[in-house]
Amino acid sequence: MNTLHFTDTSFKKEVLESDLPVLVDFWAGWCGPCKTIAPFIDELAKEYAGRIKVGKIDVDNNSKIATQYGVMSIPTVIFFKKGKVMNQLVGAVSKLDLKHKIEENL
Protein backbone atom coordinates (compact mmCIF):
# COMPACT_ATOMS: atom_id res chain seq x y z
CA MET A 1 0.00 0.00 0.00
CA ASN A 2 1.60 3.24 -1.16
CA THR A 3 -1.11 5.54 0.19
CA LEU A 4 -0.07 7.09 3.50
CA HIS A 5 -2.34 8.22 6.33
CA PHE A 6 -1.63 11.67 7.75
CA THR A 7 -2.84 13.09 11.06
CA ASP A 8 -2.87 16.52 12.68
CA THR A 9 0.34 15.52 14.47
CA SER A 10 2.21 13.96 11.54
CA PHE A 11 1.15 16.54 8.94
CA LYS A 12 4.01 19.02 9.42
CA LYS A 13 6.75 16.38 9.17
CA GLU A 14 5.10 14.16 6.50
CA VAL A 15 3.68 16.88 4.23
CA LEU A 16 5.11 20.33 4.87
CA GLU A 17 8.70 19.15 5.39
CA SER A 18 8.63 16.53 2.60
CA ASP A 19 11.35 16.63 -0.06
CA LEU A 20 8.83 15.23 -2.55
CA PRO A 21 5.62 16.93 -3.71
CA VAL A 22 2.64 15.63 -1.71
CA LEU A 23 -0.94 14.93 -2.76
CA VAL A 24 -3.28 15.03 0.26
CA ASP A 25 -6.82 13.65 0.03
CA PHE A 26 -9.08 15.19 2.70
CA TRP A 27 -11.86 12.64 3.23
CA ALA A 28 -14.27 11.02 5.72
CA GLY A 29 -15.68 7.49 6.04
CA TRP A 30 -19.30 8.64 5.53
CA CYS A 31 -18.52 10.58 2.32
CA GLY A 32 -19.80 8.87 -0.85
CA PRO A 33 -17.75 10.91 -3.36
CA CYS A 34 -14.64 10.23 -1.20
CA LYS A 35 -15.21 6.51 -1.73
CA THR A 36 -15.54 7.13 -5.47
CA ILE A 37 -12.10 8.71 -5.80
CA ALA A 38 -10.32 6.46 -3.24
CA PRO A 39 -9.31 3.83 -5.84
CA PHE A 40 -7.87 6.58 -8.09
CA ILE A 41 -5.83 7.93 -5.17
CA ASP A 42 -4.45 4.44 -4.44
CA GLU A 43 -3.65 3.77 -8.12
CA LEU A 44 -1.84 7.10 -8.48
CA ALA A 45 0.13 6.43 -5.28
CA LYS A 46 1.46 3.26 -6.92
CA GLU A 47 1.99 4.87 -10.31
CA TYR A 48 3.95 7.83 -8.93
CA ALA A 49 5.78 6.02 -6.11
CA GLY A 50 9.16 7.62 -5.51
CA ARG A 51 8.15 10.78 -7.39
CA ILE A 52 5.42 12.10 -5.10
CA LYS A 53 3.97 11.21 -1.71
CA VAL A 54 0.28 10.39 -1.67
CA GLY A 55 -1.78 10.33 1.50
CA LYS A 56 -5.15 10.81 3.09
CA ILE A 57 -6.30 12.73 6.11
CA ASP A 58 -9.60 11.87 7.80
CA VAL A 59 -11.27 15.23 8.50
CA ASP A 60 -13.47 13.79 11.26
CA ASN A 61 -10.44 12.73 13.30
CA ASN A 62 -8.07 15.48 12.18
CA SER A 63 -10.11 18.66 11.92
CA LYS A 64 -7.26 21.03 12.84
CA ILE A 65 -5.45 20.60 9.51
CA ALA A 66 -8.69 20.64 7.49
CA THR A 67 -9.67 23.93 9.17
CA GLN A 68 -6.20 25.39 8.71
CA TYR A 69 -6.41 24.82 4.94
CA GLY A 70 -10.03 25.95 4.61
CA VAL A 71 -11.41 22.55 3.61
CA MET A 72 -15.18 23.08 3.54
CA SER A 73 -16.25 20.25 1.22
CA ILE A 74 -14.90 16.77 0.82
CA PRO A 75 -13.31 15.20 -1.00
CA THR A 76 -10.74 17.96 -1.37
CA VAL A 77 -7.35 17.11 -2.82
CA ILE A 78 -4.54 19.57 -2.13
CA PHE A 79 -1.11 19.43 -3.74
CA PHE A 80 1.82 20.61 -1.63
CA LYS A 81 5.34 21.31 -2.81
CA LYS A 82 8.09 22.47 -0.43
CA GLY A 83 5.43 23.14 2.22
CA LYS A 84 3.27 25.36 0.02
CA VAL A 85 -0.17 24.75 -1.48
CA MET A 86 0.23 24.48 -5.24
CA ASN A 87 -3.23 23.36 -6.37
CA GLN A 88 -6.55 22.19 -5.02
CA LEU A 89 -9.38 20.10 -6.45
CA VAL A 90 -12.77 19.80 -4.78
CA GLY A 91 -15.36 17.09 -5.40
CA ALA A 92 -15.38 13.70 -7.07
CA VAL A 93 -12.85 14.41 -9.80
CA SER A 94 -11.66 11.93 -12.39
CA LYS A 95 -8.39 10.03 -12.28
CA LEU A 96 -7.34 11.97 -15.37
CA ASP A 97 -7.97 15.31 -13.62
CA LEU A 98 -5.85 14.15 -10.69
CA LYS A 99 -3.12 12.93 -13.03
CA HIS A 100 -3.00 16.29 -14.85
CA LYS A 101 -2.62 18.13 -11.55
CA ILE A 102 0.13 15.74 -10.42
CA GLU A 103 2.02 16.32 -13.66
CA GLU A 104 1.66 20.11 -13.23
CA ASN A 105 3.17 19.86 -9.75
CA LEU A 106 6.10 17.54 -10.38
Active-site entry in 23, 34, 71, 78: 34
Q: What is the CATH number of the domain that holds 66?
A: 3.40.30.10
Burial of 15 (0-12, 13-18, 19+ CB in 10 A): buried
Examine the residue annotation and report whether 31 is marked as an active-site residue of this protein: yes
Active-site entry in 31, 41, 44, 54: 31
pLDDT score recorded for residue 61: 95
Average pLDDT of the chain to the nearest whole number: 95
**Confidence band (pLDDT; 50, 70, 90) for 1?**
low
Q: What is the mean pLDDT of residues 5-11?
A: 97
How many domains is the chain built from? Answer: 1
pLDDT digits (tens, 9 = 90+) for 80-90: 999 999 999 99
**Confidence band (pLDDT; 50, 70, 90) for 55?**
very high
Q: Which domain holds residue 47?
A: 4-105
- pTM comes to 0.95
Question: Looking at beta carbons, which pairs linking 81-90 to residues 24 or more positions away fall under 8 Å?
Answer: 81/21, 81/22, 81/105, 83/15, 83/16, 83/17, 86/21
